[in-house]
Amino acid sequence: MKTSQRPPWMEAPTKAGLAIKGMVIAVVCLLVLYPFVNIVATSLAGESEITRRGGIIPLFPSEPTLAAYKTIFAGGVVSHALLVSAGITIIGTALNLVVTIALAYGLSRPIVGGRFVLTCVLFTMLFGAGIIPNFLLIKALGLYDSYASLIVPGLVSAFNFLVLRNFFQNIPAELLDSARIDGAGDLAILLRIVLPLSKAVLAVVALFYAVGHWNAFFNALLYLSDTGKWPLPLVLRLYVLQGQPVGGATESPGEAVASIQAVQMAVVVVALVPILCVYPFLQRYFTKGVLTGAIKG
């Protein structure tokens, strides 16, 4: 099996070499994966076990309990932040896609003024106005303290635009021409030919946008003063990094009491789960998505 995959000119690996390589690879994988195991284990541990073991649950708690999760969802703050983040992610990603697809398709063929618009877009990758002018603009537009301030300022990312435009440009011209001869207009070509051919790259771009919204921290910090509108990352910071106790926990006697550490890690897990859920399905498209954008940019 192994020998058949190795090209004939390559010498057989030495035993020691293989062992060292295998170990390095195993260590790399462990360094990435272990932190996730640890936080899930801690979030499932009960108060007594965490106290007994000094806050450390290395692999799995002996008496797993969902007390921490009950606590965070009883308070309402985390559930509300979760809803806000989910809403921003879904609506934001949909808007991102529509506008980015339109721009990328429009500029994928030589049109009047296309060169100029393209240059305008690309220049923004080299030079940004800075935090303060952006903040003043949001204030001036009346977007301060609105959910729109989390979506509109990042409506099109120049990088994602490039990924899509390069992909659209590589669609064989004969396909588009034959559709045009059959009487299809530009919009019909986009909807019936270009988009169905671009599902994989669209999935990657959608993921990039969605992850950006889900993890949005600084824009929310900058543009939202109303804590009632806070998305999950800000709530996460409040509870985990700034150590504020999760409010609204009513502990009835007899039930397993969740320790602060378990509750904190439960919030982290809640923030992680959506990413971990979509990741395996989109993972195989990454290379394509990243390379169509980067190489020919």
Partner 1 sequence: MHRVSRSSGRSPDRAASRAARQAARRVQSGPSLGARLRRDRVMLLLVLPGFLFFVVFHYVPLLGNVIVFQDYQPYLGFKDSPWVGLGNFSVFAEPDFYRALLNTLKFAVLQLVLFFPAPIGLALLLNSIISPKIKRFVQSVVYLPHFIGWVILISISQQLIGGTGLLPQFLGELGLPRVDLMTSSGFFPWLVTLQLIWKDAGWGTIIYLAALLNIDTEHYEAAAIDGADRWRRLWHVTLPGIVPVTLLLLILNLGSILSVGFEQILLQRDAVGADAAEVLDTYVYFHGVLDGQWGPAAAVGLVKGVIGLVLILGANKLAHRLGHEGIYSR
Distance of CA 214 to the CA centre of its chain: 6
| Nearer residue to partner 1 within complex by CB, 139 or 255 | 139
Q: How far apart are CA 161 and CA 97, in angstroms?
A: 9
- Tell the smallest beta-carbon distance from residue 253 to partner 1 (Å): 27
- Tell the smallest beta-carbon distance from residue 46 to partner 1 (Å): 17
- Tell the smallest beta-carbon distance from residue 127 to partner 1 (Å): 5
| Nearer residue to partner 1 within complex by CB, 27 or 255 | 27
Which tokens belong to 19?
């062992």
| Nearer residue to partner 1 within complex by CB, 75 or 223 | 223
> SS3 letters for 154-178?
HCCCHHHHHHHHHHHHCCCHHHHHH
- Tell the smallest beta-carbon distance from residue 113 to partner 1 (Å): 7
- Tell the smallest beta-carbon distance from residue 175 to partner 1 (Å): 17
- CA distance to 105, 108, 159, 162, 212, per residue, from 291 (Å): 18, 17, 11, 10, 19
- Tell the smallest beta-carbon distance from residue 178 to partner 1 (Å): 18
| Nearer residue to partner 1 within complex by CB, 19 or 28 | 28
3-state helix, strand, coil in the chain (%, to 5): 70, 0, 30
Which of 112, 212, 123 has its CA nearest to residue 162? 123
- Residue 176 CB coordination number (10 Å): 19
| Nearer residue to partner 1 within complex by CB, 255 or 281 | 281
Helix-helix angle 15-43:260-282, to 10 degrees = 130
| Nearer residue to partner 1 within complex by CB, 76 or 133 | 133
